[in-house]
Amino acid sequence: MKANLQSYFSGFLLLLALSLLVHTYSDEYQGMGIGAEFGPMFYPRILLWMWIGISGLLVVTSIVGKTKAPAAQNWARLFGMFGLVALCTLLLTQIGFLFSTLLFSLSASWFMGFRKPLGLVLAGIVFPVFTWYLFHEILLIRLPVSPWFTWV
Protein backbone atom coordinates (compact mmCIF):
# COMPACT_ATOMS: atom_id res chain seq x y z
CA MET A 1 0.00 0.00 0.00
CA LYS A 2 1.72 3.19 -1.14
CA ALA A 3 1.00 6.54 -2.71
CA ASN A 4 1.66 6.83 -6.42
CA LEU A 5 1.17 9.34 -9.22
CA GLN A 6 -2.44 8.22 -9.72
CA SER A 7 -3.24 8.81 -6.06
CA TYR A 8 -1.58 12.24 -6.11
CA PHE A 9 -3.63 13.24 -9.16
CA SER A 10 -6.86 11.94 -7.61
CA GLY A 11 -5.89 13.72 -4.36
CA PHE A 12 -5.42 16.96 -6.28
CA LEU A 13 -8.90 16.55 -7.80
CA LEU A 14 -10.30 15.87 -4.33
CA LEU A 15 -8.71 19.05 -2.90
CA LEU A 16 -9.99 21.06 -5.86
CA ALA A 17 -13.54 19.82 -5.24
CA LEU A 18 -13.28 20.55 -1.51
CA SER A 19 -12.09 24.11 -2.13
CA LEU A 20 -14.93 24.67 -4.63
CA LEU A 21 -17.43 23.30 -2.12
CA VAL A 22 -16.12 25.68 0.55
CA HIS A 23 -16.39 28.49 -2.02
CA THR A 24 -20.12 27.76 -2.50
CA TYR A 25 -20.67 28.78 1.15
CA SER A 26 -18.90 32.14 0.71
CA ASP A 27 -20.69 35.42 1.39
CA GLU A 28 -21.16 36.31 -2.26
CA TYR A 29 -23.73 33.52 -2.66
CA GLN A 30 -25.61 34.09 0.59
CA GLY A 31 -28.01 36.70 -0.75
CA MET A 32 -28.82 34.80 -3.93
CA GLY A 33 -32.04 32.94 -4.73
CA ILE A 34 -34.00 34.44 -1.86
CA GLY A 35 -37.58 33.14 -1.97
CA ALA A 36 -36.67 30.18 -4.15
CA GLU A 37 -36.84 26.76 -2.50
CA PHE A 38 -33.59 25.73 -4.12
CA GLY A 39 -31.01 28.49 -4.59
CA PRO A 40 -28.34 28.73 -7.32
CA MET A 41 -25.87 26.69 -5.26
CA PHE A 42 -28.24 23.76 -4.66
CA TYR A 43 -27.29 21.88 -7.84
CA PRO A 44 -23.54 22.67 -7.87
CA ARG A 45 -23.27 21.41 -4.27
CA ILE A 46 -24.82 18.06 -5.26
CA LEU A 47 -22.28 17.76 -8.07
CA LEU A 48 -19.38 18.75 -5.83
CA TRP A 49 -20.35 16.17 -3.21
CA MET A 50 -20.41 13.56 -5.99
CA TRP A 51 -17.01 14.81 -7.20
CA ILE A 52 -15.62 14.53 -3.66
CA GLY A 53 -17.07 11.05 -3.18
CA ILE A 54 -15.75 9.68 -6.47
CA SER A 55 -12.30 11.27 -6.22
CA GLY A 56 -12.07 10.04 -2.61
CA LEU A 57 -12.83 6.53 -3.82
CA LEU A 58 -10.22 6.95 -6.56
CA VAL A 59 -7.59 7.98 -4.00
CA VAL A 60 -8.37 4.88 -1.93
CA THR A 61 -8.44 2.49 -4.89
CA SER A 62 -5.20 3.89 -6.32
CA ILE A 63 -3.44 3.41 -2.97
CA VAL A 64 -4.93 0.02 -2.08
CA GLY A 65 -5.38 -1.57 -5.48
CA LYS A 66 -3.12 -2.09 -8.47
CA THR A 67 -2.70 1.01 -10.61
CA LYS A 68 -1.07 1.44 -13.96
CA ALA A 69 1.62 4.11 -13.98
CA PRO A 70 1.21 6.71 -16.73
CA ALA A 71 3.47 6.29 -19.76
CA ALA A 72 6.90 7.93 -19.58
CA GLN A 73 6.79 11.46 -20.94
CA ASN A 74 9.25 13.67 -22.74
CA TRP A 75 8.61 16.56 -20.36
CA ALA A 76 11.08 18.98 -21.97
CA ARG A 77 9.41 18.58 -25.37
CA LEU A 78 5.95 18.77 -23.83
CA PHE A 79 6.54 21.90 -21.76
CA GLY A 80 8.42 23.49 -24.67
CA MET A 81 5.43 22.94 -26.94
CA PHE A 82 2.99 24.07 -24.25
CA GLY A 83 5.07 27.24 -23.83
CA LEU A 84 5.02 27.90 -27.57
CA VAL A 85 1.22 27.44 -27.76
CA ALA A 86 0.76 29.70 -24.71
CA LEU A 87 3.04 32.33 -26.24
CA CYS A 88 1.17 32.18 -29.53
CA THR A 89 -2.14 32.52 -27.65
CA LEU A 90 -0.86 35.62 -25.83
CA LEU A 91 0.69 37.18 -28.93
CA LEU A 92 -2.40 36.56 -31.04
CA THR A 93 -4.15 39.61 -29.64
CA GLN A 94 -0.92 41.65 -29.39
CA ILE A 95 0.71 41.25 -32.80
CA GLY A 96 -2.20 39.83 -34.79
CA PHE A 97 -3.17 36.38 -36.03
CA LEU A 98 -0.90 36.28 -39.06
CA PHE A 99 2.39 37.24 -37.39
CA SER A 100 1.81 35.15 -34.26
CA THR A 101 0.88 32.00 -36.21
CA LEU A 102 3.81 32.52 -38.61
CA LEU A 103 6.17 32.66 -35.64
CA PHE A 104 4.50 29.71 -33.95
CA SER A 105 4.41 27.51 -37.02
CA LEU A 106 8.09 28.00 -37.83
CA SER A 107 9.28 27.72 -34.23
CA ALA A 108 7.10 24.70 -33.37
CA SER A 109 8.17 22.75 -36.48
CA TRP A 110 11.81 23.61 -35.78
CA PHE A 111 11.43 22.75 -32.07
CA MET A 112 10.02 19.32 -32.89
CA GLY A 113 13.02 18.57 -35.06
CA PHE A 114 11.80 19.37 -38.55
CA ARG A 115 14.56 21.03 -40.55
CA LYS A 116 13.69 20.59 -44.25
CA PRO A 117 13.54 24.09 -45.82
CA LEU A 118 10.72 23.31 -48.29
CA GLY A 119 8.49 21.80 -45.60
CA LEU A 120 9.23 24.72 -43.27
CA VAL A 121 8.27 27.20 -45.97
CA LEU A 122 5.07 25.29 -46.83
CA ALA A 123 3.85 24.65 -43.30
CA GLY A 124 5.52 27.56 -41.55
CA ILE A 125 4.70 30.32 -44.02
CA VAL A 126 2.27 29.22 -46.73
CA PHE A 127 -0.21 27.51 -44.36
CA PRO A 128 -0.64 30.43 -41.88
CA VAL A 129 -0.84 32.96 -44.75
CA PHE A 130 -3.39 30.84 -46.62
CA THR A 131 -5.45 30.25 -43.44
CA TRP A 132 -5.40 33.95 -42.56
CA TYR A 133 -6.40 34.96 -46.11
CA LEU A 134 -9.17 32.36 -46.28
CA PHE A 135 -10.77 33.34 -42.98
CA HIS A 136 -10.03 37.05 -42.77
CA GLU A 137 -10.50 38.03 -46.40
CA ILE A 138 -12.77 35.42 -47.98
CA LEU A 139 -14.94 34.05 -45.14
CA LEU A 140 -14.87 37.51 -43.45
CA ILE A 141 -14.27 36.06 -39.98
CA ARG A 142 -12.35 38.97 -38.46
CA LEU A 143 -9.12 37.84 -36.84
CA PRO A 144 -6.91 39.98 -34.57
CA VAL A 145 -4.70 42.44 -36.48
CA SER A 146 -1.24 43.77 -35.62
CA PRO A 147 -0.61 47.25 -34.17
CA TRP A 148 1.66 48.04 -37.16
CA PHE A 149 -0.73 47.50 -40.07
CA THR A 150 -4.47 48.01 -40.12
CA TRP A 151 -5.20 45.16 -42.52
CA VAL A 152 -2.99 42.34 -41.21
Partner 1 sequence: MEHVLPALDLVLSPAVGISMFIGTLVGIVIGALPGLGSVVALTVCLPFTFSMEQVPAITLLLGVYCGSVYGGSVSAILINTPGTPQSAATCFDGFPLVQQGKADTALGWSTMASVIGGLFSCMVLILAAPQLAAIALKFGPIETFALITMALTCIASISRGSMLKGLLAGVLGLCCATVGADPITGDLRFNFGYFPLSAGLDLIAVVVGIFALSEVFIRVGKKVTETPNWIAKSGIKLPSWADWKPRLAVLAKSSIIGSFVGVLPGTGAATAAFISYAEAKRSSPRRDRLGTGEPDGIIASEAANNAVTGGALVPTLALGIPGDAITAVMMTTMIIHGITPGVRLMAENGDVVYACFIALIVINIIMLGQGIVLARGFTRILKTPEPLLLAMVVILCLLGSYGVRGNPFDLMVTLGFGAMGYFLRLFGFPVAPVVIGLVLGPQFEISLRQGLILTDNSFLEFFTGHPIALGLFITTAAILTWPLIRKFIAPKSVDT
CB-based contacts of 52, cutoff 8 Å, min separation 6: 14, 17, 18, 21
**Contacting partner 1 (CB under 8 A), which of 1, 27, 36, 148?**
36
> Which pairs with CB-CB distance under 8 Å and at least 24 residues apart come from 110-113?
111/77, 111/80, 111/81, 111/84, 112/77, 112/81
CB-based contacts of 118, cutoff 8 Å, min separation 6: none
Residue 125 in the binding site for partner 1 (CB under 8 A):
no
Residue 66 in the binding site for partner 1 (CB under 8 A):
no
**Contacting partner 1 (CB under 8 A), which of 3, 15, 22, 50?**
50
Report the interface residues with partner 1, using CB under 8 A.
Answer: 5-6, 9, 13, 20, 23, 29, 32-33, 36-44, 47-48, 50-51, 54-55, 57-58, 61, 68, 70-75, 77-78, 81-82, 85-86, 88-89, 92-93, 97, 101, 104-105, 108-109, 111-114, 116, 119, 122-124, 127-128, 131, 135, 139-144
